[in-house]
Chains A and B, each alone.
Chain A
Amino acid sequence: MKPRQKQLLYAGAALLIFVAWMFYTADGPQTTAVLAGTVRAATLLALGAMCGMIGERSGVVNIGIEGQFLMSAFVAFTIASMTGSLFLGTIAGVGMGLVMGWLLAAMAVGLKVDQIIAGTVLNISALGLTSFFYDRSAVGIGKYTNIDLGPLADLPLLGTVFFSRPPLTYLTMALLVLVHVALFRSVWGMRTRAIGEHPGAADTVGIDVLRLRYFNVTIAGGLAGLGGSYLALEAVGTFSRAMSGGRGFLALAVMIFGRRTPFGAYAAALFFGFTTALQNQFQLNNTFDIPPQFVGMLPFVVTIIVVAISGLMGSMRDPAALGQTYEKG
């Protein structure tokens, strides 16, 4: 990261903390609610962004995250209400994510289908299948409850926002660290970045490009699957039609804004999560006297502006082989 960008980042973080503190002193409960909502929204986005970045670092665009979320949420909810176990539901959701990832890999890597089309296939079939099989009368078994992390949970503001959360949120934070280490320190990560930048170079040193892409896209699907489980079993506690609501696409924006790094993505996810939470609070309080649909647009309008601005800054560079199928030889 260039020094100037670092400065900007620090300045932004400092400003956020200051604003949060200011509001906290003015109206504690509401600030806590907005910030807790921020983390809640950010968790899903971070999982989707990690799924996207593992694919893109390997050279495969995944616009099917939306479909992966939705399908996994459906399966997680269904299995959970069938077995009465949130844990089994979560596992089933992750499993479904892996299957969706494998499907994308089979199309985009194995059959060399255009990657955008392959992702679109996931999105459309997920919407169709879940709408068709969704059983309105199915009853949920509730959702994961908060776990306090000892004395940390008693910290003012931060305690409730970060250290008194349900389990999948903690798991996501752990995964952020794990994916970061894996991508930038491990042998797997080095090879993954190589096949996304210059698959030919990787091939000539004996790395099986197609196999690694297959593997990565499938595994990444598991992360989106966890996102689906999180959505159905931790964030909401039930399944409803098209409940992913475009957040799979928002996750892609988060990934790009976070420069395809886990921590960058989490920072971006918190930012977007904040706009979502803020929008909720605005609607709740009836802050603006305009139709709620317009207030609901806030996160998406901000997405467009932020992505456009960061694009204008010209600071992003895609992996060189992104979106290209690889032919040996």
Chain B
Amino acid sequence: MSEVLLAAHNVTKQFPGVLANDDVSVQLRPGRILALLGENGAGKSTLVNILFGMYRPDSGDVIIKNEVVDLHGPDDAISRGIGMVHQHFQLVPPMRVVENIVLGAEPSKRGLVDLEEARNRVVELSGRYGLEIDPDALVEDLPVGMQQRVEILKALYRDADVLILDEPTGVLTPQEADHLLSVLRELTATGLGIVFITHKLREVLAIADDIVVLRNGRVVGETKPAETNESGLAEMMVGRSVVLRVEKSVAQPGDVVLAVDELEVNDDRGQIAVDRLSFEVREGEILGVAGVEGNGQRELVEAITGLRHPMAGTMRIDGEEVTNGSAREISKKGVAHIPEDREKHGVVAVYSIAENSVLNRYHRSPFSIRGVLRRDVIERHAQEVVDEFDVRTPSIAVAASSLSGGNKQKLIVGREFSDDIKLLIAAQPTRGIDIGAIEFIHRRILEQRDKGAAVLLVSAELDEILGLSDRIAVLYDGKLMDVLDAQDADRERVGLLMAGITK
């Protein structure tokens, strides 16, 4: 019989108010890739944190190499050969690659780190697994894909025979992601077992040997790539059939609404983040902005919505210059904004749903008169938003913080869409929300387009960009690589541009 490398057996974990894992069992065998699939909050992270010793299960067992173990912390898991590549890299930026790899398990002589020995081991390791890296480079100077490689080497250095990867492709271009998948496949040839957590259906089908789908903390399905397809997996994840691709008609572009000319914006550290960008968005079209996160998207959106002052260049809305306008001045021109960080910029967590539903217009008639808020009007409006946009809540009087991510997002969309809008700036509009809500929000965005709004859609999810956009602009390092018509764009082409390759 074959060995079980890592398994959870009837694991249950309760957090205040949530049953995060409910009688979950999974197992991983040598040389195989197990994909854990599920929406945000389905319990994937809790499960791997239990397997890695970060949390202890309330009941049930963790089994490593056919042996029931009681993990007291990550170091316990590490010493038993479990390695984890976290979604947010756990690397010390101002330290060298070699130092990061050996940290916590340093080769040493009389208390001093033996860097020579450490470097030799790292070089040997990267040669053996074909993961090339400069051991002396500072981690902060490395591109994201390389940093991820350091994380993998870190686990291999500790003789891991199980690698757990938490959403590893979220920060990569499609080509980098494909490369990672093939690296992982090669690693399994040495007998390594891999647990791969993701919400991307395509990747699961491409790489997994076994697929376990989680929903609301329970295992709702186990399958293999050969036995299913994207919509089958999506249905398992959501619990009902879903439309993965919304139908859309051909765009009818009208006049230019947003014209950006030679725009230059700095990031928080004063470095150029948006480098002399010029583009236009017309009535009735969606311009998608593709790019790996951190290539200037945030700064661009903040500049257009008046949250950040550009250093140079101009912006016009309907021909009127708004370059240094405040957020309110810009909002008054009929600009709606779905912000990237809904917790920070989208809602005021401690305000009620009713109050949140008028954040953009509370100071205007009919919601207030001479500086006094009119509760009844606000509440009526809030009820309309909640009904129309399907915000699931017991009451409009509860605090926004009590809503789930998807419902918060629907509330924001409802608020922004309840006025006539000329220009919609949607930044990562479906990040971290369930498939049902994604579908809903996509349809609403298309609806706005068909009503004649100009839409600027910024998203790190390439599928979202490809599915919704009429034209696609690709950002790399703050520069506009190209603008493609949607029918000329495919993953391959956009992916190369996202990596800064123009050919």
Contact = CB atoms under 8 A, between A and B. Distances in A.
Interface of A: 181, 185-191, 193-194, 197-198, 200-207, 317, 320, 328-329
A300 B449 CA distance: 64
Give the interface size class of chain B.
Answer: 20 to 34
Contact of B103 (A185, A194, A200, A320): A194
Majority secondary structure of chain A interface residues (helix, strand, loop or mixed): helix
Interface string B235-277: 0000000000000000000000000000000000000000000
B112 A206 contact: no
A187 B95 contact: no
Interface of B: 54, 73-75, 78-79, 84, 86, 88-95, 99-100, 103-106, 108, 111-113, 154
A205 B105 contact: yes
Contacts of B112: 181, 185-187
Nearest to A201: B90
Given A205-B78, A206-B75, A206-B78, A187 B106 contact: yes
Given A187-B111, A205-B78, 15 more contacts: A186-B108, A187-B112, A189-B113, A193-B92, A193-B95, A194-B92, A194-B103, A198-B93, A203-B90, A205-B104, A206-B73, A206-B75, A207-B104, A320-B94, A328-B54
B217 to A, nearest CB: 18
A186 B99 CA distance: 12
Contacts of A189: 113
Given A181-B112, A190-B113, A329-B54, A197 B103 contact: no
A186 B91 CA distance: 19
Contacts of B113: 185-187, 189-190
Identify which of A198, A202, A207, A328 gathers the most chain B CB atoms within 10 Å of its CB.
Answer: A198
A204 B74 contact: yes
A186 B104 CA distance: 12
Contacts of A202: 92, 103-104
Contact of B91 (A185, A187, A198, A328): A198
A181 B84 CA distance: 32
14 contacts: A186-B108, A188-B111, A190-B95, A191-B103, A193-B92, A194-B95, A198-B92, A198-B93, A204-B90, A205-B75, A205-B90, A205-B103, A205-B104, A328-B54
B372 to A, nearest CB: 39
B15 to A, nearest CB: 11
A123 B95 CA distance: 34
B21 to A, nearest CB: 16
B55 to A, nearest CB: 8
A41 B147 CA distance: 46
Contact of B90 (A185, A190, A193, A200): A200
